[in-house]
Amino acid sequence: MVDPEQYAELIRKGNPDFIEVKGYMFVGASRQRLSLKNMPTYEEVKEFGLLLLPFLDEYEFVSDHEPSNVILLAKKSFNRKTWIDFDAFFKNTDDKYIL
């Protein structure tokens, strides 16, 4: 999580509609190779993601999910209409998820 300007350069080359800035999670088999100190905090992930924005004029912050250690940036042309309603997603009725 260094040099946001060069990350932004790579992003501009790929020209994605969405950018998911996500930190490593200390789970599964990765725990055999890495330690908990390798996992950035949510605040660090969000800070780095927001540091990208000054170099990416056509993108904006649209959403985040702290338990997943992730933030979502999207092209401004989506007009912030892109998000996941996590409360609705996890609402369980008759063993079916409803959105």
- pLDDT tens sequence across 9-31: 999 999 999 999 999 888 899 89
pLDDT digits (tens, 9 = 90+) for 70-80: 999 999 988 76
pLDDT digits (tens, 9 = 90+) for 33-88: 998 898 899 999 999 999 999 999 999 999 899 999 999 999 998 876 656 666 77
pLDDT band (50, 70, 90) for residue 1 = confident
Q: What percent of the chain has pLDDT over 70?
A: 82
Domain ranges, ordered by start, for the chain: 4-97
Whole-Å CA distances, 36 to 19, 31, 69: 25, 8, 14
Task: Please check whether residue 97 is in contact with residue 88, taking contact to mean a CB–CB distance below 8 angstroms.
Answer: no
Rounded to whole angstroms, how far apart are CA atoms 8 and 49?
Answer: 10
